[in-house]
Chain A
Amino acid sequence: MSSLNDRQQNRPVTYSHYTKNKRESSDAKSAQSRVSSGESKANDRAKRKSVQHSTFASYFANHVWALVSTLGSLYRTPLSTMMTTTVIGIALALPAGLFVLLQNVQHLSSSWDNGTQISLFLKHDVKSAQTSELLSQLESYSLISDIRYISAAQAFEEFREKSGFNDALTLLEENPLPSVLVISLANQYPSEAEVNVLMEYLSNLESVDTAQLDMQWLARLNGMIQIAQRGLFIVALLLGLAILVIVGNTIRLTIQNRCQEIEVSKLIGATDSFIQRPFLYGGIWYGLIGGVIAWGLIFVSLHMLKEPVKNLSVLYSSDFTLIGLGVYESITIILIGIFLGWLGSWVSVRRHLREIEPK
């Protein structure tokens, strides 16, 4: 019954094509016959070009189309998309979050000055001439990079301002504080022996009362930060690898699901680059969405840390606040996500697309 219907609606159409599409047919005819002769081949190509996109426009249009339609196909499989992107998000957020924390620690420690310092407390009776002599003597010492002179008066003033003992201090008849030379070392991480030799030398100077090795813990902290940075680098590398595997596997499954489509496309004359495009864009979308998720995770975590950190820094009468993600860092996270997503799918596509050939 239904095939009868087909026929009835089909027959007039089929035959009417002859008259209706005559112009088109003859058009095709001339194109066909020209194929055989060589010189008109370019002609034919030119004619084709007029209905096809120019190379660049076509390239661009194809890409935009693939990009948008790929997003559509991700949307149609929300669960798998969500799982993949979430895993990518977490794998990105972990090293990126640690990086931000580390940056905060570094920022904090840099506000306390860098490296090892030595404070030379001068004897009370040292004259200014002697001081300048001492200064020039020390400056020639190669281990020393910088010397800051804080006179007794300056030190007193500073102490009064910072300690809050303003009233009590005014009762003092005489400034009890000595002048100080703050010496920064050229080498941020000097060896124990070097420091010992230097300390020996400094404490034996005539005008020096005591030499005090300051802030060595800061140098140690910096050393630890360096170790943490290395560790972070390794963690980031491993998690990056994990992202590649995750994306690669997801893309492999998609390729298997769309095996039929790939086969047919190849039969119709699709190039490898055409066929792999949606998969590469799939990877890029996974990376992009994963990057945004990572950014969100870090943003929320930092937000949750903000209050307690602020409370703590108030206790240390510091105005330290957590540095969040800047524009630069945010873009970097997302770009890294995109890159890893693209790379993972590229590797997978390279491996699996060739396996599918029409039979």
Chain B
Amino acid sequence: MSRMNEREKLLYRVQQFGFMTDDIRLFLNTHPACEEAFCALKYFMDAEKEAKEDYEKRYGALTLEGIDGCRGYEWIDGVWPWEVEE
């Protein structure tokens, strides 16, 4: 965590909330009637969306929907997930 740069810290928030939605979703698949889990899913989905927008404002699109109209086609730019920044 300490070795993370500013970009990675913002991305980590997306990864944390994204992981919560991934995990709760798996739980709901076998417990579809659990209201508590469903509320938690909605909460973390919103949080993930917000974190994505924060990241995309500064570092570019994570998905095609994240492309900022004013900045042009930025999908090919930025750091790909397996790359280590120098």
Q: Do A and B bind each other?
A: no
Chain A residues close to B by CB (< 8 Å)? none
